[in-house]
Amino acid sequence: MVPSELIKEIAKYGLENDQDNLYRALNVLIEHFKTHKKVNFAIQLQSLLRDALRDHQNTGMVKVGSPQYVLREQDREVGELIIDKLTSDYRFDNLVCSAEIKSELTYFIQEHASLDILQQYELPISNKLIFYGPSGCGKTLAAYVLAGELKKMMVVVNLGAIVSSKLGETSKNLAKIFRQAAREECIIFVDEFDSIGKVRDYGQDHGEMKRVVNTILQLFDYLPQQSIVIAATNQIDMIDDALLRRFDLKLKFDLPDPAHIKEIIAKTVKSNAIAFDKEVTQTSLISACKGLSYYSIQRTLVTAMKRSIFQKKDGTNMPKISTALWLSLLKKEKLGQKKSA
Ligand SMILES: Nc1ncnc2c1ncn2[C@@H]1O[C@H](COP(=O)(O)OP(=O)(O)O)[C@@H](O)[C@H]1O
Ligand SMILES: [Mg+2]
């Protein structure tokens, strides 16, 4: 059936409050989008449908005036702890990384794409990853790439925001998020994982930090195999050893080497299709970028491109990227980093 007919049906069933037919029609629509390369939209619809079904089941289960409200209230609370719930269009192509990271992530994707085969052999599935290394080197991006490649919904959680000053609250918050994510089989991306180190101990009670670590260990142990946790940190030393050992995969995202610098420049320029103004030697550009993160290199280059477009005076030729301008931005960036270090 064509989508326009389906949408008419969906409107009709919705207005008539005919739940069964509405769910059936929505499922047909989801399948339609899946087969027409609109997978992300299909996943979003599926997630909406799942939420609604859960509420519906809860309503069916409870009598008037009973805990239905409480359940909704809990969902709302979890919503406040989660920064974002998203689908991703990012693919491997978007990430510049070492051959080792690429191969590890490729195996990881393969495992999750063939869960049933591994389960047949009763082999455990890797589902806990930690990405570490300096800021701006692709940890968050790699998580988006995994979500995009695996076509899974991802919830983004900032541990810094969850660590609560109230005794016992941090553990409770974490448990809530994991429970919801497990139910929806999505990826949980926990950014600023080192914030665990900031859990305060209270007076005589030196147990709060231990409790939080134990909660995470337990949540990890009971994590369903199809759920995935990705933690990210730029301070791996802050993380408890017992906790670190539980991760199936620890990947270091480092500053770019000369080959990676070339690659990130090529990717940044290509997507905007403007050229450099003159042939600067690759080596001089690369040494100007050395020591900076992918993010800093990309951001200064984009700024240089925008300013070069504005600088273009004659209306005839295509704008060219002013290399001198970019080099001066790179220099400033390095100075800024030295000052803040
Ligand atoms: N390895 C990389 N490959 C391609 N782009 C990158 C890479 N690292 C960083 N970037 C660019 O910088 C932005 C920020 O990087 P991010 O993944 O948030 O860094 P991190 O999480 O390690 O601090 C990305 O959205 C991307 O545009
Ligand atoms: Mg990040």
Residue 95, ligand 1, Cβ within 6 A:
yes
pLDDT value at position 69? 32
CA–centroid distance, residue 26 to ligand 1 (Å): 36
User: What is the bridge-based pairing of β-strands 82-86 and 154-158?
Assistant: antiparallel
- Lookup result for tokens 């925008």: 306
Cross-strand pairs, 129: 230, 249
CA–centroid distance, residue 140 to ligand 2 (Å): 4
pLDDT value at position 56? 57
pLDDT value at position 185? 81
Q: In testing the pocket of ligand 1, which one of 86, 94, 137, 146 has its CB within 8 Å of the most ligand atoms?
A: 137
Residue 300, ligand 1, Cβ within 6 A:
no
Count other Cβ atoms within 10 Å, centred on residue 67.
Answer: 13
CA–centroid distance, residue 49 to ligand 2 (Å): 30
CA–centroid distance, residue 96 to ligand 1 (Å): 9
Tens-digit pLDDT string for the chain (341 aa): 668 888 898 899 889 888 888 888 888 888 888 788 777 788 778 777 776 766 555 544 333 333 333 334 445 556 666 777 888 899 999 999 999 999 999 999 999 998 899 989 999 999 999 999 999 999 999 999 999 999 999 998 877 777 766 667 788 888 888 888 888 788 999 988 988 776 665 555 667 778 888 888 999 988 888 899 999 999 999 888 889 999 999 999 999 999 999 999 999 988 666 788 876 677 888 999 999 999 999 999 999 998 988 876 655 567 788 888 999 999 999 998 877 77
Burial class of 154 by CB neighbour count within 10 A (0 to 12, 13 to 18, 19+): buried
Ligand with smallest separation from the Cα of 142: 1
Q: Which of 21, 3, 52 is nearest to 12 (CA)?
A: 21
Go through 255-280 and write b for each residue having 16 or more CB atoms within 10 A of its CB, e for each that does not: bbeeebbbebbeebbeeeeeebeeee
